[in-house]
A = this chain, B = another copy of it.
Amino acid sequence: MKIKKLKPLLIKIFKKHGLNADHATISTNALINAELVGAFGHGLSRLKMYCDRLNKNVINPKPKIKIKKISQSISHIDANNSIGFVAADIGIKQAIKNAKKTGIGLVAVKCSGHYGLSGYYAEQAVKKNLITMIYTNAPPAVAPHGSLKSLFGTNPICFGTPSGSKIPFILDTSISMINRGKIRVAARNNKKIPHGVALDKFGRPTIDAKKALAGVQLPIAGFRGSGLAWMVDILSGVLTGGNHAGKVKDPFDDFSGPQNIGHLFITFKANLFQKNYQQRIKENIKIIKRLPKVKGVSEIKYPGQNKYKRFKENSKKEINIPKIIKKDLEILLN
């Protein structure tokens, strides 16, 4: 479907489910962006879930979002269980405003929901010549190191910076070795999963996808990745007033209440300390790209390059909508 046809359709659906025009547009843009960068797990496949949660009022369609000013640099947002896209959009915009004014912005958000891709918000800050760090937690998916039970979310770590070129440097990385969707696909096709990404229900390493589904996913790099996931849970949950320690509900399965996810946005001017920051980062990237390469590697890419390329290519094409999602669209429109 052409983007310009899909966009009003999605806006209509969100409005039908109670969002105002502004919030419907923000949510639509985020979903379409996810499709264009190829992050389908954050795109249209979630539309029905969002609408179901709006229907059941575990996402508040008419939130009263409060922005509390703590200082010129620091703000605290209570998103009143709004759809995550809107809370995050307000969060990053406030963080940008604060950094533009004082050099640095720190914005904590509580009572939010799943907001899609951290990198999408990071891009907004980077376009304003800011460096940004973004943290959010998520429903249990990964076992803390030494544990037999999932508790941490895939808790992404996101870092963005201007790159001295039009393609921003955006690292947006999960701390999980593998995502659950991939294990599900492997189980369905009777395929093995890689070594070291999951444990069975007894806590033994397994490459059997079915056994992994009954067990837990592992964090990257053992104790270190587990520590990073814990850090994200603290920064986005404990600090902000959001849920933490495994209490964020799965948006697909648990309609017993709002998610109360927390987010943290840190922003600061890239040229705070060096006027020629853009030149310096450009030089940094150039030197790394010139290193001798492992056989089969044609280019050393910085984080965000692949996503940018996919976005550019896909923006020229129609968006491919699988049958199951077409059906969702029809139902949600009626």
Contacts and interface: CB of A to CB of B under 8 A. Distances in A.
Interface stretch (A44-52, A228-236, A314-322): A228-236
B225 A221 contact: yes
A120 interface: no
A313 interface: no
Given A221-B220, A238-B280, A268-B106, A288 B151 contact: yes
Nearest to A106: B104
B103 A228 contact: no
Contact of A303 (B227, B270, B291, B299): B227
Given A224-B220, A281-B238, A288 B144 contact: yes
Contact of A292 (B110, B148, B246, B299): B148
B76 A273 contact: yes
Interface in A230-285: 230-231, 233-235, 237-241, 244-246, 266, 268, 270, 272-274, 277, 280-281, 283-284
Contacts of A293: 146-148, 203
A131 interface: yes
A281 to B, nearest CB: 5
Contacts of A125: none
A203 B297 CA distance: 11
Contacts of A151: 287-288, 291
A199 interface: yes
What is the oligomeric copy number? 2
A74 interface: yes
Nearest to A107: B273
A300 interface: yes
A227 B161 CA distance: 12
Q: Which of A173, A239, A300 counts the most chain B CB atoms within 10 A?
A: A239
Interface residues of A, number: 75
Contacts of A297: 146-147
A70 B301 CA distance: 34
A173 B238 contact: no
Contacts of A231: 159, 171
Interface of A: 70-71, 73-74, 76, 102-104, 106, 108, 110, 131, 143-149, 151, 157, 159, 161, 169, 171, 173-174, 177, 199, 202-203, 220-221, 223-225, 227-228, 230-231, 233-235, 237-241, 244-246, 266, 268, 270, 272-274, 277, 280-281, 283-284, 287-288, 291-295, 297, 299-303
28 contacts: A71-B102, A71-B103, A73-B102, A74-B103, A110-B273, A131-B235, A143-B291, A146-B293, A146-B299, A146-B301, A147-B291, A151-B287, A169-B234, A171-B227, A171-B228, A171-B231, A173-B227, A203-B293, A220-B220, A220-B224, A220-B225, A221-B225, A230-B302, A237-B284, A238-B277, A240-B274, A244-B284, A245-B284
